[in-house]
Homo-oligomer: A and B are copies of this chain.
Amino acid sequence: MEKKLPTIKEIARRLNISISTVSRALHDHPSIGLRTKMQVKKLAQELNYIPNQTAIFFKQGKTFTIGVVLPNLREEYFSSAISGIEETAFDSEYIALIGQSHDDLNREKKIVETMKKHRVDGLLVSVSKETRGLEHFEELKQYNIPVVFFDRVPDAPDIHSVWCSLYHSSIAAIDFLVKKGHKRIGYIQGPSTLNIKNERLQGYVAGLKKNKIVVDELLIESSDLSLNSTQQALDKLLAAKNRPTAIVTFNDYVALDAMKFARKKKLKINKDISFVSYANLPVTTYLETPPLASVEQFPFEQGVRATELLLRLIKAKSLSENVPYENVVLGSELVIH
């Protein structure tokens, strides 16, 4: 049997006073007599009264929720980000709704739709690798739901975003490898949709130039991030006439897959072939032979900053203030293992 939850109406009825008096008493409104106030509070306590937030949300047109859309929670990178998001949101009395796109555009669209239905106060998005257009986000504007893209930020004007520039760290990575004596440095890049903003490749090229190394297109392969694709990329690099002695990879997962594969081919990691990658996942600290170095992209921090920005936008919205598009670019950091 559905028990009826206590409401202010119920309290009012029992005390033979009006609903509004109860409401005010519970809010410590100054114009309520001490006696009445105490009575009300006491009964509320006894009945275990909790205001029905859904009613309040409904009335206020606010839900105190923010939606988070990202590819996959199982990747440590994103779970770190969402950890930062949840913490920041929670400390501001917001709560996070989550949706995983699984890098599937249709699912992403459906999630955004659901978030819209739930009237989230704002949305944080790290786009799927299939995402090109932003039509499914445009509509949110009409509903006054601010959107902040983070980490995987689409290359579009007129958006709010928080991401991490990899340009300088990419150059630092090349500097590091060159100092280690490497001259032939390969590169396994990721899907083109994810490459635009972060300037990994640009940094790679700039780093080579800075070190007077000619860019060899045969040393640049790409992976769709699947194990298979990474293996193929590595295979091609290893088959190159002047096989690279070091390889920069899109992220640690690609590096890990590549290393696993390299070991199968009887190559000694960090001897026959070295790796430098991006993400600096905590798990790499447990490896006997981790990538020589990895670029820390501060996913947790990105989550925090993105949430802070989003909360600011939400506040501005409620004050009907206009906020110019803001793009927070964090620095990255080459971490040597």
A317 at the B interface (CB under 8 A): yes
Q: Mark A1-17, 1 if CB is under 8 A from B, else 0.
A: 11101000000000000
| Docked CA distance A116–B90 (Å) | 14
Give the number of times this chain occurs in the complex, counting copies: 2
Q: Find chain B residues with CB under 8 A from A116 CB.
A: 50
Q: Given that A54-B63, A142-B48 are contacting pairs, would A97 and B97 also be in contact in the complex, using a CB cutoff of 8 Å?
A: yes
Q: Given that A58-B55, A286-B259, A288-B263 are contacting pairs, would A98 and B86 also be in contact in the complex, using a CB cutoff of 8 Å?
A: yes
Q: How far is the CB of A70 from chain B (nearest CB, A)?
A: 11
Q: How far is the CB of A255 from chain B (nearest CB, A)?
A: 9
Q: Find chain B residues with CB under 8 A from A263 CB.
A: 288
A244 at the B interface (CB under 8 A): no
Asked if residues B72 and A1 are in contact (CB atoms below 8 Å), the reply is no
Q: How far is the CB of A169 from chain B (nearest CB, A)?
A: 22
| Docked CA distance A55–B118 (Å) | 10
A308 at the B interface (CB under 8 A): no
Q: Mark A107-119, 1 if CB is under 8 A from B, else 0.
A: 0000100111111
A309 at the B interface (CB under 8 A): no
Asked if residues B118 and A90 are in contact (CB atoms below 8 Å), the reply is no
Q: Find chain B residues with CB under 8 A from A86 CB.
A: 73, 98-100
Asked if residues B286 and A256 are in contact (CB atoms below 8 Å), the reply is yes
8 A-B Cβ contacts within 8 A? A65-B97, A74-B80, A76-B76, A82-B98, A86-B99, A93-B114, A260-B285, A283-B283
A contact residues vs B (CB 8 Å cutoff): 1-3, 5, 48, 50-55, 57-58, 61, 63-65, 72-76, 79-80, 82-83, 86-87, 90, 93, 95-100, 111, 114-119, 139, 142-144, 256, 259-260, 263, 282-283, 285-289, 317, 320
**Which 8 A/B pairs are nearest by Cβ-Cβ distance?**
A79-B79, A283-B283, A58-B58, A256-B286, A53-B117, A73-B83, A54-B58, A73-B79
Given contacts A58-B58, A79-B79, A260-B286, 7 further A-B contacts (CB under 8 A): A2-B317, A48-B142, A54-B118, A65-B118, A73-B82, A86-B100, A96-B98
